[in-house]
Structure 1
Amino acid sequence: MVTGRDRGRAAETRRSIEAAGGRAIDLVADLGDSAAARGLVAQIHEAIEGPLDVLVHNAGGGNFAPTESTPEEVHHAACNVHAKAPFILTGSFAPAMADRGRGVIVNVGSLSTSMAVAGTCAFQASKAALSMMTKSWTAEYGPRGVGVNSVDPGFILTPVNEGIRDMYGWVLSRLAACRTWRAPEDVANAVRFLVSPKASYINGVNADRGRWQDRCRGYVTASAVP
């Protein structure tokens, strides 16, 4: 099940899955809109046969600007995409997972929740909320067989980030390893592992472990405690 704001990109992703031998359905929804998130739940129930086993919260975005220059609606949008939409979707699908005693939820968070960067308040605050929900959902659904984990990428070279790669080059020099930008596939590989049977004993939280420079040995960290 592929969803996003851009109908063309969602269809492109579906076609790539089909070309690889899989089956996929693409649905369009802007998760910055709470009504659209609730509508997506209804669309998913109509589109699939059987239960939903895996839920990946990967929608993201944000505006990088000083707090005083960030419009209130931009702050609301970040909170809606990174926190409210995952809250709505998890509340809609996790109970059924728990009733069956199986299921996986993966939150795609951000390395930035363990560091302070000027001009990213709305983005960091909303991603920090998602990090806290990882902990809460682990306690709430973990005992009933649902795995909840977080993958926290650093600076991933996506088309959106092309315009800021020079601005955040200083971060690369401070990481313990991987001093180049990473690709979206690096994040996808971590998510793929966490939703696979090989990760069935991993169910945990994203926790700070000292200074962020020491914590991050690369750009993708899957923080989990058995």
Structure 2
Amino acid sequence: MTPEKVVQIFERFEKANPDPRSELQFCTPYELLVAVMLSAQATDISVNKATEKLYPVANTPEAMVKLGVEGLMPYVKTINLYPTKSRNIVKMSEILLEKHGGAVPDNREALEALPGVGRKTANVVLNNAFQQAVMAVDTHIFRVSNRTGLAPGKNVLEVEKRLVEVIPPRFMMNAHHWLLLHGRYVCKAREPQCPGCLISDLCEYPDKTVKVV
């Protein structure tokens, strides 16, 4: 895809949604970190329903450690892999207290050292909580990047690096949100909504759908 096309794509995203936001509900970096850890293989809606009840009880590392794994699990039992996620969240909270004074670190290396936190989770936290222009690649962004020809890659790290290379710096702060939302609601896995897509004429996907489904 040419640089000119890339610019046009993000200009259109920006015009349509000038101030994109995560659909996860959070007020602090810690709340965001917990929500993103819960969101793996789960929908944002299901996570928000769980944290709506959880955060009034435990929304700090101290409160989460006090709640404990057995106390946390009833709040998140509707979420996939909740036993493992519960253990990771409590252990992560313990480490924040022991090594970071209870604060969520603002660098990738420290974040990725926490239990249950991989590169994608770290990038989401850095972008949303600390306003760093990084790219978190989930399944939606991976699909959109490959399908459109924007940033083809065989794995999420390849796509992430390619996106960082091709997206102009002025769009990077919001690029993650635009691509994620586009993949979630328009460029869907099974039924891409090509006729209603605002970048359809720029997209290089050869098998565009011809009607809205």
Q: TM-score normalised to the size of structure 1? A: 0.25
Q: TM-score, normalised by structure 2?
A: 0.26
Higher strand proportion (structure 1 or 2): 1
